[in-house]
């Protein structure tokens, strides 16, 4: 009996507008209190926005300010630093 393949959850990158498997994206969350942080687990409560796991995309997100528009919050430079470190860390694993 063939097992049914599980559906891979897709999310849209707010920078490129591409649909990708959730695992290939990084979630940034704004809580009700207005705190913004990187959510590697993808499970924290709050308003989430996804960006591709790609340094060029994160660079573009920082330049265009799209995350602050998506999350309706001020994005600290430290968030972008954390995203870049996260992407570089993931790139090494391949």
User: Mean pLDDT for the chain?
Assistant: 91
Which tens digits make up the pLDDT trace of 43-84? 999 999 999 999 999 999 999 999 999 999 999 999 999 999
Who wins on pLDDT, 29 or 1?
A: 29
Tokens of 94: 């391949």
pLDDT of 3 strictly over 90: no
Task: Say what the pTM is.
Answer: 0.85
Homologous superfamily in CATH for domain 10-93? YlxR-like (3.30.1230.10)
pLDDT score recorded for residue 50: 97
Calculate the dihedral angle through the C-alpha atoms of 48, 54, 59, 61, rounding to the nearest 10 degrees.
Answer: -30
Q: Which residues contact 93 (CB under 8 A, 6 or more apart)?
A: none
Res 5 pLDDT > 80: no
């Amino acid at each position: 009996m063939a097992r049914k393949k599980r559906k891979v959850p897709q999310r849209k990158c707010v920078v490129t507008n591409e649909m990708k498997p959730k695992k290939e994206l990084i979630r940034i969350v704004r809580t009700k209190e207005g705190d913004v942080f990187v959510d590697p687990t993808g499970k924290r409560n709050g308003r989430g926005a996804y960006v591709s796991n790609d340094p060029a995309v994160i660079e573009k997100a920082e330049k265009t300010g799209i995350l602050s528009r998506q999350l309706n919050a001020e994005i600290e430079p430290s968030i972008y630093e954390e995203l870049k470190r996260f992407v570089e860390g993931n790139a090494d694993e391949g």
